[in-house]
Amino acid sequence: MPFGPGPGPASHRTVDIDGIEIFYREAGHPDAPVLLLPHGYPGSSFVYRHLLTALADRWRLIAPDLPGFGYSGTPAPDDFDYTFDAYADFLFAFAQEMRLDRYVIWLHDYGSQFGFRLAMREPARVAGLIIQNGDIYEDEFGPKYDGLRRFWTNPGPESRRGIAQHVSLDGFRDEFAGELPAEVADRVPPDLWTLHWSLMSDPARVANLVRLLEDQPTTLAWFPRQQAYLREHQPPTLIVWGPNDGYMPEGAARAYHRDLPGAELHLLNGGHWLLETHLAEVVPLVRDFLNRVHTPA
């Protein structure tokens, strides 16, 4: 039975995690099955705002702003290491603080790395995975990775300056609106890059974000372990993917069938931000999946 008569509003709250004030959005009944929504780069919980209200009748959706993103606090580098390891540890601590004992994890962009590590850390708590343009197959990287690879193979001040050039309003616009077909490009609101740049443009935040981008090569060593997790545990998985993505084209989605041959896969005519361009198509797919794998006891 649903917990309410229909979609409901989101609440906006804060919680202290290891001395960091963390902002998060939450929707749905507190006793409903949980959908955990870690965000990626250069976003925040704002990218899940429509999804939260669309599914709040039956599920509890929780979307935190990661440290140094959105409306969350920005600890000094001595207090928080802006690396993928640190963000994975943060997501675990957040789930612990929120007392989440079972959940479906949404895996998108960098959030897929943090979410996968949470799943691997506590596989018994995972009711399922929803993968939306979150890649773990290096051989299927799209052409936009070529520039990043040049920075990865030649680390140092020059590469850092090159990365920093992308941490800008124009860089954010390209992240949110790049590669989309003309017929859907105008569905992406400029709020995405203007809001997120206004929140990220503080020099300390820029420096922290450059540090995170520099750390991205460390994720490559995790890919085989994440693939092994999928093969061993075979979690119920829904893949909703926008193939018009310079980082993660169609092949990056289909590669999941190597390790999860039974995963449900839907390729939509969008790009990296399907919740902005194809929400009406994504929500019924997610609702059907959750109704099958993650319903009230």
Q: Which residue has the tokens 């939450």?
A: 26
**Closest C-alpha to 135, from 155, 158, 109, 172:** 109
> For a pLDDT cut of 70, what percent of the chain falls above it?
97
User: How confident is residue 92, by pLDDT bands cut at 50, 70 and 90?
Assistant: very high
Run of H or E including 100 = none
Beta pairing partners, 106 = 130
Report how far apart, in Å, the C-alpha atoms of 226 and of each of 106, 148, 220, 230, 260 are.
15, 22, 10, 6, 12
Report the predicted TM-score, pTM, of the whole model to 2 decimal places: 0.96
* pLDDT at 297 > cutoff 80: no
Q: What is the pLDDT of residues 25-38, one digit of tens each?
A: 999 999 999 999 99
11-142+219-293: CATH superfamily: Alpha/Beta hydrolase fold, catalytic domain (3.40.50.1820)
| Mean of all residue pLDDT scores within the chain | 95
Rounded to an integer, what distance in angstroms lies between the CA atom of residue 115 and that of residue 129? 9
pLDDT at 174 over 80: yes
Residues 55-66: what's their mean pLDDT? 97
Q: Specify whether the CB–CB gap between 186 and 176 falls below 8 A.
A: no
Backbone angles phi, psi at 275, to 5 degrees: -70, -15
pLDDT of residue 4: 54
Res 1: pLDDT = 43
Tell me the per-residue pLDDT of 235-277, one tens digit each, with 9 for 90 and over. 999 999 999 999 999 999 999 999 999 999 999 999 999 999 9
169 CB-contact burial (10 Å; exposed 0-12 / middle 13-18 / buried 19+): middle
Question: What are the domain boundaries of the chain?
Answer: 11-142+219-293
In this prediction, residue 160 has a pLDDT band, given cuts at 50, 70 and 90, of: confident
For residue 221, pLDDT beyond 80: yes
Residue keyed to tokens 């099955």: 33
- Rounded mean pLDDT, 198-205: 96
pLDDT at 3: 57
- Bin 234: left if φ > 0, else alpha if -120 < ψ < 50, else beta: left
